[in-house]
Amino acid sequence: MNEFQVIKTKGEYEPWWFFEDWQSDIEASFTYTEKTEAMTKYLEMARELVGTYPHHAAKKTVLLATWSEDETQYCEECDDDIQTFHGLILFQNGEVYEPTREEKVLYFSFLEREIEEST
């Protein structure tokens, strides 16, 4: 049986940097056995993030980072302010989900347009 997870993160790195402690940045996690339910939740959250933050970037289609240049956090180690990123990840069985070409068109085309328009 497949397990799908939609994970929302907030931290100093984009969600595609899976550093050792990346899971400490998880704000919310939703688990589904049905892919369509996971896709629906991912898209709902992606639209909300893209609508809230003026900057967006994505890798592998389902690793989404959003941010506002005004939102930073102080880093004691580097003695400077660093960017705060709001991320969204879609996993299938613990691995980054790779959507098919059809799924990219059906589910993620709005996101690609948003990202292209923001660059």
Q: At what angle do helices 35-52 and 109-118 cross, to 10 degrees?
A: 20
DSSP 20-56: TTGGGGEEEEEEESSHHHHHHHHHHHHHHHHHH-SEE
Q: Which residue has better confidence, 43 or 109?
A: 43
Instruction: Round to whole Å and give the CA distance between 15 and 36.
Output: 22
Task: Give residue 82's domain range.
Answer: 4-118
Q: 107 in helix, strand or coil?
A: helix
At 68-112, the pLDDT tens digits run 999 998 888 888 899 999 999 999 999 999 999 999 888 888 776
Instruction: Round to whole Å and give the CA distance between 57 and 111.
Output: 10
- State the total domains in the chain: 1
